[in-house]
Structure 1
Amino acid sequence: MEGRPPPNLKDPLALAAYRRELRGVASGVRWGGIGITLIGAMVAALRAWAWPAIPVLIPMIVVAWGMLLMLTAIALRTAYHARRMRGQ
């Protein structure tokens, strides 16, 4: 099944439009990962400064979860780019 033709990356206008298109791919997953990672960093800082009773593993798990979401967004965007270059 054929979809849209691949973008013309040599045309500056088409390249700019394709970059905007790529920015929208998995943006919710990417921003969610950034947000969760920042929350994990804040929990780690809170643990270090004011609340040492928080187990060390908690902020590590939250940061790892956020990083996993960001890596997932990168993989989704890469797969989308590959499909678009094939014209699907």
Structure 2
Amino acid sequence: MTPPPNLTDPVERAAYQRELRMVARPVRWLGVVIAVLAAVLALVRARYAPQIPMVLPLFLLAVAALHMIAAVVVRVKYHQKRMHPEG
């Protein structure tokens, strides 16, 4: 792995911020997509299909939250490893 970035330098800090944004990006986006799907399903259930159990949108929302939490954990672990590569 490359040496830790110098966060006091604005150019290196901006580059590192861009680098961090890319970490776990698909996991974060999947969480957002699942959350939107849960909201749409809840709306469809409320307006057009009350026979759909409410537990389904709630389950999807919980899965979305887990994706977002997982992305945060991966990003924190990446940052820790990037700042202290020897440990």
TM-score (norm 1): 0.93
Task: Name the counterpart of 1:41.
Answer: 39
Runs (5+) with no aligned partner, structure 1: none
Count of residues in Structure 1 that have an aligned counterpart in Structure 2: 86
* Aligned partner (choices 51, 54, 57) of residue 56 of structure 1: 54
Deviations for 1:33-74, whole angstroms, at most 9, x for unmatched residues?
100111011101111111100001000001111111011001
Q: Secondary structure at the match of 1:53?
A: coil
Q: Tell me which amino acid in the other structure corresponds to 2:83.
A: M
Runs of 4+ in structure 1 over 6 Å off: none
TM-score (norm 2): 0.94
Distance 2:18 2:7 in 1: 13
Runs (5+) with no aligned partner, structure 2: none
CA RMSD between the two structures: 0.9
* Aligned partner (choices 24, 27, 40) of residue 26 of structure 1: 24
Q: Between the two proteins, what is the percent identity of the paired residues?
A: 44
Q: Aligned-pair distance for 1:87?
A: 2.8
